[in-house]
Amino acid sequence: MTWNKLLLDHRVEPHATSKQELHALHRAVARDLADAEDADAPLWRTAKGKTKTLTANGMKGKDVHRMVKRRFKEAGLQANVPTCHTFRATTITDLLEQGVPLEDVQHLAAHADPRTTRLCDRRKRQVTRNIVERISI
């Protein structure tokens, strides 16, 4: 199975709060599109420069990254803005910290191999006395 095919087939139910927000967004966009000339325009569209006027073009990965970068700047957060993959790794780390099994997190992330999921794990591992005491000499 190719990566693109995996992404197209991978469906995840959104968080309940996100689901409510998405439904509200879809209703608002549906109202706007009903009045628009092009009702087939993509839901996530680019804007014309700094005019905040939407184009008929759908957003690409680089557009999303630029948007996240702007939002971080507007919020006065760090200059070195994380990528969307950073948010993905943060979610994976958070779930693993909560004790969600690696296999479940791997499935959510649509990783074919658990080693890929482990690469996104940002938990700090510490060598504890308990671990050291287990070394057989």
Q: Is residue 35 in some structural domain?
A: yes
Q: Is residue 63 in some structural domain?
A: no
Q: What is the pLDDT of residue 87?
A: 84
Q: What is the pLDDT of residue 131?
A: 73
Reported residue count of the chain is 137
Residues 92/116, Cβ–Cβ less than 8 Å: no
Q: Tokens at residue 78, please?
A: 């760090």
Per-residue pLDDT of the chain (137 residues; tens, 9 = 90+): 444 444 456 677 777 787 778 777 777 766 665 555 555 667 778 888 888 787 878 888 888 888 888 888 888 887 676 777 888 899 999 999 999 999 999 999 999 999 999 999 988 877 677 777 878 77
Q: Is residue 39 in some structural domain?
A: yes
**Total tally of structural domains belonging to the chain:** 1
Q: What is the pLDDT of residue 1?
A: 43
- Cβ neighbors of 93 (< 8 A, separation 6 or more) are 120, 121, 122, 123
Instruction: Measure the CA–CA gap between 118 and 111, rounded to whole angstroms.
Output: 10
Q: Tokens at residue 92, please?
A: 């994976």
Q: Is residue 1 in some structural domain?
A: no
Range of the domain at 25: 14-43
Q: Is residue 29 in some structural domain?
A: yes
Q: Is residue 53 in some structural domain?
A: no
Q: Is residue 105 in some structural domain?
A: no
Q: Is residue 123 in some structural domain?
A: no
Q: Around Cβ 105, how many Cβ atoms within 10 Å?
A: 22
- Read off the pTM: 0.58
Q: What is the pLDDT of residue 5?
A: 44
